[in-house]
Amino acid sequence: MDVEIVFDFRLVTTHYHRVTTQQIRVLLRRRPFRPIEILSDGGEKLLVRHPEAVLVGKEVVVVELPDGTMDYMEAGNISKVRVLPRRGG
């Protein structure tokens, strides 16, 4: 027997699950902020350590890396997000 498991984004934020750019914006506005890891279908990762270091558009997510360079992921390739523990917490 197949069982379908559905995660409610509002309740389950510590597990991997498919998200939209709008849901990423919600995570970026949460206080206190917790870092997030955005994953693509191909296994690429974007680590967002600070909410002001990311630009979330309709078609792309752009993250400023600690060295000042930029990395991006097309919104259509985003498959999962993981909410990480706060630093020191």
pLDDT at 63: 97
Please give the DSSP secondary-structure letter assigned to residue 61. E
pLDDT in tens, 26-76: 999 999 999 999 999 899 999 999 999 999 999 999 999 999 999 999 998
CATH, range 21-83: 2.30.30.100
Average pLDDT of the residues in 8-15: 46
**Hey, where are the domains in the chain?**
21-83
Which is more confidently placed, 58 or 18? 58
The secondary structure element, H or E, covering residue 8 is: none
